[in-house]
Amino acid sequence: MNHPDHLGTSHGDLAQPVSPTPTAPPVDSFADLALPVEVQRTLAEHGIREPFPIQAATLPDALAGRDVLARGRTGSGKTLAFGLPLLVRTAGRRAEPKQPLALILVPTRELAQQVTEALAPYADALRLRMAAVVGGMSIGRQAAALRDGAEVVVATPGRLRDLIERGACRPGRVRITVLDEADQMCDMGFLPQVTEVLDQVRPDGQRMLFSATLDRDVGQLVRRYLHDPVEHAVDPSAGAVTSMDHHVLVVHGPDRYAVVTEIAARDGRVLLFLDTKHAVDQLTRHLRSSGVPAAALHSGKSQPQRTRSLAQFKNGRITVLVATGVAARGLHVDDLDLVVNVDPPTDPKDYVHRAGRTARAGESGRVVTLVLSGGRSEMSRLLAEAGIKPTITKVRSGEAELSRITGAKAPSGTPLDGGPAAPRAKNTHAPFRGLGTGKDASRGTGGKSRKAGEARKLAEARRAARVRRGS
């Protein structure tokens, strides 16, 4: 995957002249910026003194009202990079009912919640009202918040379009628009909704587009909606981040179930990615029956369930979050040092995005991908395309090498109560089919033989676990 240094001369999608107006020089400290005293005080109260690179580069131009086009991986500090200018430039104005003045579009409910929470202290300091507009929550309450007046709206594209169509939101007075994780919004099919909204906001307003990658559909948005943008490519792609270790673990088919269980039982948080909602629920049930505090996160969960699971993961009540790739987009958890691709991604961008859940905001992290021996070369090609050179290791459950890389250990074996975070148990002992299905040698086999094979693998894993526990 190519990531040019000068965004204006990148792929054909983004071919356009470099901005004729020079960019403002980066700053070394928030004190170097003409930020209101209320904002400076709030930054200090939160222990934020030095800007991250993407903030140092973009804040001067964004505060000056320039359109900004920035590439920065998730966890690089983008929220304050666009949020502070948006709030400062909106301060002192009052929104009419249903007519917000600033808009932040994000791809997922979780990211909308995180952005809202991160900016709320600064909005409060500047006496600005914020409203989060996302699916899965009461649309009536969101319409009421807009009717009461909100200067800043943080929204997912689908729910915002619903409210516009109902007449509950009229974006014609929006002066500042931010597209956060623009590539993910496009990948998730939101481009039509995004363009519908951008066609309705003030055409002379400020636009800021932040994205981990800038290609394909993102190029359409840049050409059509950004005017003479200043361009910043501060952070390298996630594959080049030195604070992130990448490992490919080659596992033996019948043993991979036990390997995942032992990784999940480690001390410390871990995020597990699988391909399907069914596989996520199935693995979560198994982990809880093995004594591992786990919760499921995917698009089939209600928003209150998703919010509760995330809160429990962040506060430590849950140590394992089992998620689909789509549901975990935009997820931010402090001190998350291990991400595991139980089902390997099939696209380099998906790998980069999953990997970006760890090593955030300057911290270190480790990304582990499980493959069968037959999938090793395919995974190596995918990672090479992402610019990543992983360490490849053959592992077995119960071995010291697996523990050294991941912190794996045997689970307690004491089942946990279902609890609100666990999926409803239908058949706790059903064979698990979520690890690498569709990507291994079992693909194409008959349904009965596959079920029998998975049942044998599950029985072997349980016998091995009992031996290791000495039972």
| Mean of pLDDT values over 288-316 | 89
pLDDT exceeds 80 at position 252: yes
| Homologous superfamily of 7-235 | P-loop containing nucleotide triphosphate hydrolases (3.40.50.300)
| Mean of pLDDT values over 278-283 | 94
Tell me if 7-235 shares its fold with 239-469: yes
pLDDT exceeds 70 at position 323: yes
Q: Which class for 63: exposed (0-12), middle (13-18), buried (19 or more C-beta within 10 A)? A: middle
Provide the token pair at 201: 């906001």
| Mean of pLDDT values over 318-340 | 82
Residue predicted with more confidence, 224 or 354: 224
pLDDT band per the 50, 70, 90 thresholds, residue 457? low
pLDDT exceeds 60 at position 5: no
Tell me which fold the domain 239-469 belongs to: Rossmann fold (3.40.50)
pLDDT per position as a tens digit, 109-126 = 888 988 999 999 999 999
pLDDT band per the 50, 70, 90 thresholds, residue 9? very low
Work out the mean pLDDT of the chain and round it to a whole number: 82
What pLDDT, on a 0 to 100 scale, did the predictor assign at position 420? 43
What pLDDT, on a 0 to 100 scale, did the predictor assign at position 430? 41
Parse the chain into domains and list their residue ranges.
7-235, 239-469
